[in-house]
Amino acid sequence: MSRDPAPWRVAAVQMNSTVDRERNLGIAEFLARRAADAGATLVAFPEHFSSIRSEGKPAPHPEKLDGPLVAWTRNLAAELGCWILAGSFAERVPGSRRLRNTSLLFAPTGETVATYRKMHLFDARIRGQAALQESKTVAPGDRPVVVKTPLGRLGFAICYDLRFPELFRHLALDGAQVVFVPSAFTDYTGRHHWMPLLRARAIENQCWIVAPAQVGSHDATRASHGHSAIVDPWGNVVALLEAGEGVVSAEIDIEHLRRIRSDLPCLDHVRPELLGRKRSAARPPD
């Protein structure tokens, strides 16, 4: 059995982003510095942290993976000497009118170590609420992502992905121990579903869930639920920021996860063929 990494502190940043990119990045930097000064090893920003579009409008400031936002985040990670999750931004796709909703993980060196593109797009018409159709401007990603790091094996999802347990099961079977869910969950659906879904994904897959969120009104057409949370592999909400911009943090203990998976070995009893996986495919040992 490999040695577990020492416990480390994660910080989930909660923001009320707008179309004003300069303002948003100023707040993101301020909160990241505060988190790093308080001992965070990894700082996670929410979905659309750099700018958030009004419903029906094109995404502001789309750019490629070598654009200024990526450089800004890389430089911040290197300066602070900590891991940074760029929750998501609008990635320009060469030759396409649609964008990707893309999340990037940066190492303390500034190196990009993981790229995840949101797989499930939020198209919904809830009676009495604004209709949202993300697929008009965004193309879906096509694969789950798990990356092995000195902090453990990290998996990624974005917002609406949270409603699809099969994605999280694939992440768990690929070895994920901590799954990040940067989000801009709508205020209405969030009040009913956000916390039950976070806890369910943690319990089902016996993993840590880190969910930095957007909060409050972004403009006249869009508002987010907030409630940035960190949930342990037993389903306990160990840190929560309900409202307002700020930072919530908690210690990630991989040994705690390993004990839970050993005592209640649910993942060893998964039928991978029900997910279209080979039955002989072994889950990486904890």
47 labelled catalytic: yes
Q: Active site residue: 91, 159, 207, 245, which one?
A: 159
Helix and strand numbers, DSSP H then E, in the chain: 5, 16
Distance CA 120, CA 143 (A): 11
Max Cα–Cα distance, the chain, nearest Å: 53
Three-state SS across 59-115? CCCCECCCCHHHHHHHHHHHHHCCEEEEEEEEEECCCCCCEEEEEEEECCCCCEEEE
Catalytic residue among 47, 91, 134, 245: 47
Q: Provide the residue count of the chain.
A: 286
Residue 126 in 3-state DSSP?
coil
Q: How many other CB atoms sit within 10 Å of the CB of residue 259?
A: 14
Among candidate residues 82, 91, 118, 207, the one labeled active-site is 118
118 in active site: yes
Helices 165-173 and 187-205: crossing angle in degrees, nearest 10, is 30
Helix or strand (DSSP H, E) at 8: strand 8-14
Catalytic residues: 47, 118, 159
